[in-house]
Amino acid sequence: MNDTNFPTMGAILEADELGVVVTALKTALELDIFEIVAQGHQRVEQIASAANCNAHGMNILLDVLCVKNLLAKSKGRYSLTPTSETYLIRTGRGYCVPIYLAWLQAREKFIDFVRTGKATLDLTSPAAEELWVSYAAPDRIRLPELVEIVHKRWTDAGILSRLGSGAHILDLGCGSGFKSFTLLQMDPDAHVTAIDSLKVLEITKDVADLMGVTERVTFQNGDVDRELPVEAFDMVLIGNLLHYYDSASVVSILQKMHGTLKANGLIVLYAKAVDEERKTDPALLSTIDISNCAPHGQAYTFTEYRDMLQAAGFRNVNYCEPVIISAEK
């Protein structure tokens, strides 16, 4: 082999470096380190005692967390950083520990999924509500960044011009709701019906207030199986949701959406379609979590989304990359 033409170690070295960070964060979350520091324990011995751990081992962990700006250190005392105070303690407005810890722990069991095909978690179960709350919570903090991104995507896809003014939009499994609420900011006469579980809707209502659209939002408790009125909406929006279901279930969900749309209504899937051969798209990395966190989770290609939409009765299916798949009734 030519010395100037050798393969790099690439993903091997990347996994090694990232793996250390993942190990430190997962360990800290499992030991509740950030809550312990928030309670006023600042020295290694205090934190180790509160966590029922060895002081030397704890010292190593805390210093690694400092390197990644998850803890600060001054004169031997540890404290929270803005990141950990916002996202990693229970009083933080962006508290997201439950979902990320669940993902980190599930990934350790991915080998079992590969061997058996049985998912470690079921994010489609009502028991997963607290996980989805913690998934939505950071959006309250990241809102300006998220709205800017989604505003551009709605504009690039020409969604408002296809809807017309004053559209009634159904946001199914709305999460924090910022995607559909951005459409409300773009059209002052539009209205959104936001459907999700009760605890998630508490986050949704906060985001609606922050975005100044609360008066034009109807909040409804429900899931993907909720009965919906016939021909009531001009647009249905479904975010990153359908990849947790098998194709037959997806078609069934889409058929319900078809029924609740008005004539010539629009359905939008705010979802990333992976490359057709499933071999090059970085989005494929997320299938480790998708498949291991729902009994039938899988990533779909655009062709598969198109076929499912057509099977549900939709027409004129198109894809405005990276995440807007739309079709008409």
Stretch 263-290: mean pLDDT, rounded?
96
The 3-state DSSP class for residue 147 equals helix
Whether residue 253 sits in one domain with residue 201: yes
Dihedral-angle region of residue 173 (phi above 0 means left; psi in -120 to 50 means alpha; beta otherwise): left
Q: How far is CA 71 from the centre of its chain?
A: 25
**Does residue 75 come out as left (phi exceeding 0), alpha (psi in the -120 to 50 range) or beta?**
left
pLDDT at 227: 86
Q: What's the chain's Rg over C-alpha atoms?
A: 22
The mean pLDDT of 9-16, rounded to a whole number, is 90
Residue 5: the pLDDT is 75
Q: What is the mean pLDDT of residues 45-57?
A: 98
In whole angstroms, what is the distance from residue 274 CA to residue 287 CA?
10
Predicted confidence at residue 232, as pLDDT, reads 96
Q: Same structural domain for residues 304 and 226?
A: yes
Encoded tokens for 39: 């309670």
Question: Is the domain of 165 the same as that of 283?
Answer: yes
pLDDT digits (tens, 9 = 90+) for 226-250: 889 999 999 999 999 999 999 999 9
Residue 4 reports pLDDT greater than 90 = no
Residue 33: give its domain's CATH number: 1.10.10.10
| Domain final position from 91, 119, 145 | 91
pLDDT (0 to 100) of residue 3: 59
84 found inside a domain = yes
First to last CA, the chain: 58
Residue 207 included in any domain: yes
pLDDT at 63: 98
One domain for residues 150 and 278: yes
User: Is a pLDDT exceeding 60 seen at residue 2?
Assistant: no
Q: Tell me the pLDDT band of 171, cut-offs 50, 70 and 90.
A: very high
Same domain, 72 and 188: no
Residue 191 covered by a domain: yes
Q: What is the pLDDT of residues 124-135, one digit of tens each?
A: 999 999 999 999
Give the residue from 29, 62, 91 where a domain finishes: 91
For the segment 96-122, the average pLDDT, to the nearest whole number, is 97
Residue 114 lies inside a defined structural domain of this protein: no
pLDDT of residue 226: 82
Please state, for a pLDDT cut of 70, what percent of the chain lies above it. Answer: 99
* pLDDT at residue 223, as a whole number: 86
| Residue 100 resides in a domain | no
pTM of the entire predicted model: 0.93
Band of residue 193 on the pLDDT scale cut at 50, 70, 90 = very high
What's the pLDDT at 7?
87
Residue 321 lies in a domain: yes
Q: Which of 70, 21, 109 is CA-nearest to residue 292?
A: 109
Domain-located, residue 123: no
pLDDT tens column, 123-164: 999 999 999 999 999 999 999 999 999 999 999 999 999 998
Buried b (16+ CB within 10 A) or exposed e, 173-201: bbbbbbbbbbbbeebeebbbbbbbbeebb
